[in-house]
Structure 1
Amino acid sequence: MRQTGFIHHIGSFLLLVATVLLIVTSISAPAVKNISMLRVDIDRGTANGNNPVVTFGTFGWCTQDLIQSSDDCSGAHVGYDPSRVLAENAGLGAVDNSEFRFAAVRRLTNVMVLHPVAAGLAFISFLLALGAGVVGSLLSALAALLTFVVIIVVLACDFAAFAIVRHAINDDDDGVPGARASWGTAAWTLVAAAVVAFFGMLVVFFTCCSARLHRRRENRARAAPKTDYGAPERRRRWF
């Protein structure tokens, strides 16, 4: 039973780690400009090395090292158009070469509002895992399952949206000369959160089932009638 409790604490810790990773993803640009889902580096070929950088995050974007301009970040809002941001702030109008594709990107960026939602669900599952008893563990496993589903949905939408932008910039034939797009830190923290939340869910569910099975065996042992009263003492004969 003690070993099951230790394993349960491991599951609780994994859910806490998933919460932290999701928080890091949620506070990406514009909240923290160096944490991003996608980072676009633009080489202007200038002697002073002043090369613009555009970072896209959960609720907006940031621009850094622009010529004759200080670093700037957008206001926090749900959904935006990456191609328009690159055209207006970095002069990469050639990125917007397919209105249909980038219309889909604009819609997919709306789904990123699920980043903080997933973080909240992960934290709730962590709190439920701290509660004693089978019921708390079961509720925690269900909350962790819901967290994992939400993460998978937003993960698929994020990578689908920014993969379009990344391909449009990095494409060898139709890409943008002097520009390079790469996945940012927030993209990988989201992937890590999905993996950690999945294993946390499995561990908590396993310990829940194990504790329930152990308790059921104890109840059966207590309710079972006593049948072994011992052999009768053999009488001694005196001669």
Structure 2
Amino acid sequence: MTRVLHWVGVTCLFIAAVLLLVTTISSPVIGDIAILKVMLTNSSDIRHSSVTFGSFGHCVLDVAPAQTDQDYCYPKVIGYKPAAIMAEIDHTTFSRAGTATADALTNAFVLHPIACGLAFIATICAFGGIVGGLVSTIIAILAWLITLVVMAIDFAAFGVIKKHVNHDGSGSHAYYSVGMWTTLAGMILLFIGMILVFFTCCSERRNRGKTGYKTGGRGRFG
């Protein structure tokens, strides 16, 4: 049973890493994946298009000034200005404080790939028996804390954009998209995974202490 729970924990860590990877490769890396998506309805030059905001920038999708809709994804950057982007595209009005808050918080989006990388490392370490499992737990805790922080930053930064877009009377609609929910799910699975890996490592170590079983530093998970 202990072994089964251990591998359930490892699986949770791996799935969490994959989910965090999805957020990391959101717009503009993959334009259709967004943390926040804005459906535009009132602009004469980009009617029926949408804006996708991700970890390192944004895309404008389904731009149709001609006969064929086109997607425009802008260069990847660390830290960008979503309030200024929406003000230019949709003439959304923001307070000075709201603009400064949203723009400043995007610099912390670099935590997305850091949390993703740590989750993958935690998964790999969990294959290393008792010692590896304990190391995996420590790394998973760090990944979980970073994910928790960056998720709060996501909600804070894009909450400002979402509130202003949805209440400015333009008819455009902003909502949290896939990248936000993969971060949330990744955070939950990281927590479950690190608890299971730590619990099974402690149980295995206690069992080894009782039986005097020696494995040269490796537990029975390997």
TM-score by length of 1: 0.83
Cα–Cα, structure 1 residues 4 and 84, in superposed 2: closer, same or farther, change >3 Å? same
Q: Distance in 2 between matches of 1:96 and 1:109?
A: 19
Q: 1:177 Cα shift?
A: 1.7
Q: Distance in 2 between matches of 1:50 and 1:83?
A: 19
Give 1:125's match in structure 2, choosing from 99, 122, 126: 122
The answer to whether the 8 A contact 2:40-2:47 is kept is no
In the alignment, which residue of structure 2 is the partner of 1:87?
87
Q: CA RMSD in A?
A: 1.7
In the alignment, which residue of structure 2 is the partner of 1:191?
184
Give 1:209's match in structure 2, choosing from 178, 202, 206: 202
In the TM superposition, what are the counterparts of 1:3-14 in structure 2 within 5 Å?
A: 3-14=1-12
Counterpart residue identity of residue 80, structure 2: Y
Answering whether residue 155 of structure 2 is matched by residue 162 of structure 1, we say: no
In the alignment, which residue of structure 2 is the partner of 1:22?
20
Counterpart residue identity of residue 126, structure 1: T
Counterpart residue identity of residue 105, structure 1: A
Unaligned ranges ≥5, structure 1: 221-239
Q: Distance in 1 between matches of 2:136 and 2:84?
A: 42
Answering whether residue 133 of structure 2 is matched by residue 137 of structure 1, we say: yes
Q: Distance in 2 between matches of 1:163 and 1:50?
A: 24
Q: Distance in 1 between matches of 2:140 and 2:181?
A: 20
In the alignment, which residue of structure 2 is the partner of 1:36?
34
In the alignment, which residue of structure 1 is the partner of 2:94?
97
Q: 1:50 Cα shift?
A: 4.3
In the alignment, which residue of structure 2 is the partner of 1:147?
143
In the alignment, which residue of structure 1 is the partner of 2:103?
106
The answer to whether the 8 A contact 1:118-1:151 is kept is yes
Counterpart residue identity of residue 38, structure 1: L
Q: 1:101 Cα shift?
A: 1.4
Q: Distance in 2 between matches of 1:183 and 1:127?
A: 31
Match of 1:100, SS state, is helix
Match of 2:185, SS state, is helix
The answer to whether the 8 A contact 1:54-1:64 is kept is yes
Q: Distance in 2 between matches of 1:176 and 1:119?
A: 38
Extract structure 1 runs of 4+ deviating beyond 4 A. Answer: none
Counterpart residue identity of residue 196, structure 1: L
Deviations 1:208-232 (A, max 9, x none): 1101111111139xxxxxxxxxxxx
Q: Distance in 2 between matches of 1:45 and 1:120?
A: 40
The answer to whether the 8 A contact 2:38-2:50 is kept is yes
Report the structure number with the largest CA radius of gyration. 1
Counterpart residue identity of residue 76, structure 1: K
TM-score by length of 2: 0.89
Match of 1:182, SS state, is strand
